[in-house]
Structure 1
């Protein structure tokens, strides 16, 4: 009897959720399953030693599926306030990252409207996103749960270029549901042109990594 009641309650909750969110919620369920299956990061490859800060920064960026993007709002209600949004990112197919984070976005997004006017922004990524910090029982804010912030300017990837082809492969291979996103939203590829790299992966405060050193190592 208990099991029957539990099944009925779960079914009722699911039906209620679908009623509230409509078919959009169903779409999210389907794409979640697909991406969970396709985006399997090799958790057996341990991060580099914390002293190898350039390599650690590249490791975090390459093994991140999303980033917190911070920028200055240009919207009427929040004008001049700092804002943040989460965007799916990729610096390349698994095992083939180049260190530059790419995103797939639409002008319908406030963040893109705002960065069109002021392209300065930062992307923060952390190993708290995956299982590393959880397995070691590290709070996301704890210094030895590594995080990196890339500071620079976001810019569009030129259409019809080899870089656009790379950006598409980088994102679609890691986020397969992007292939099915609405065509009438006019999505396009952007990248962060990195000017500063800041990492926290140990005690003692943040370390600024030379940008050339960042690009000259492999994760």
Structure 2
């Protein structure tokens, strides 16, 4: 069984051989896949864990601001995926306002991407990993913003769960006309190890039980 240092040594050894025998991408891939199997990496589960543990996410949209119109814009949104008991649902909910960047952006083009990183809980720093290392897991979740209908039966339970996690939201709603939204997930990429990102379907993501 490879430990993480052993894996790195194996990759270094493979690189050394490549200098004399020619580079072997298939051998690199074999070593990486073998280690990932032994680690038992479940990419859908990792995506769900990142979402549930996060209090916020970075969100990317296409800007409608006149100064940087049509450029990518990034922002921070406080998120929650909990039910009334604090359990994970996987449904990514957040508040938006037209006074901020993301509000006007999604109303023109409601395609956005949210990024979640293991470093949001400082887990990588505490374990000596740089946040850019592939082993510091991250997930890029793309989809469309959907505003909640306040008349829908799911609205109040979702809002109550959100406010339970983000009590300051009560003031945001009253003072700045924030409204509750949910991400309708279209694609998920997970990078949790060497070898590139993995695509996760929304059905596999929602099927996970935490």
CA contact (8 A) 1:50 1:56 kept: no
Q: Which residue of 2 aligns with 1:82?
A: 72
- Asked if 2 retains the 8 angstrom alpha-carbon contact of 1:105 and 1:187, the reply is yes
Is residue 65–residue 90 contact of structure 1 (8 Å, CA) maintained in 2? Answer: yes
Tell me how far 1:184 sits from its aligned partner: 3.8
Equivalent residues in 2 for 1:1-219, closer than 5 Å = 51-93=41-83, 95-181=86-172, 183-219=174-210
2: CA distance, partners of 1:77 / 1:187 = 24
SS at match of 1:98: strand
Q: How far did residue 161 of structure 1 move?
A: 1.9
Is the Cα contact below 8 Å between 2:96 and 2:102 reproduced in 1?
no
Higher relative strand content: 2
Mean CA deviation greater in 94-103 or 127-136: 94-103
Q: Please give the per-residue CA displacement for 1:152-198, whole angstroms capped at 9, x wherever unaligned.
A: 11110111223212321231111111123362421110111000011
Hey, what's the Cα distance between the residues in 1 that align with 2:135 and 2:76? 23
Deviates more, 1:60-69 or 1:105-114: 105-114
Q: Which residue of the partner structure matches residue 14 of structure 1?
A: none
Q: State the SS of the aligned residue for 1:69.
A: strand
Instruction: For structure 1, list consecutive stretches of 5 or more residues without a partner in the other structure.
Output: 1-48
CA RMSD between the two structures:
1.5
CA contact (8 A) 1:92 1:166 kept: no
Runs of 4+ in 1 over 6 A off after TM superposition: none
Contact 1:50–1:202, Cα closer than 8 Å, also in 2: no
Instruction: Quote the residue 2:18 is aligned against.
Output: none
Partner SS for 1:213: helix
* Alignment partners' CA distance in 2, 1:134 and 1:162: 41
SS in 2 for 1:51: coil
- Please give the alpha-carbon distance, in whole angstroms, between the structure 2 residues aligned to 1:212 and 1:182: 32
Q: How many residues align?
A: 171
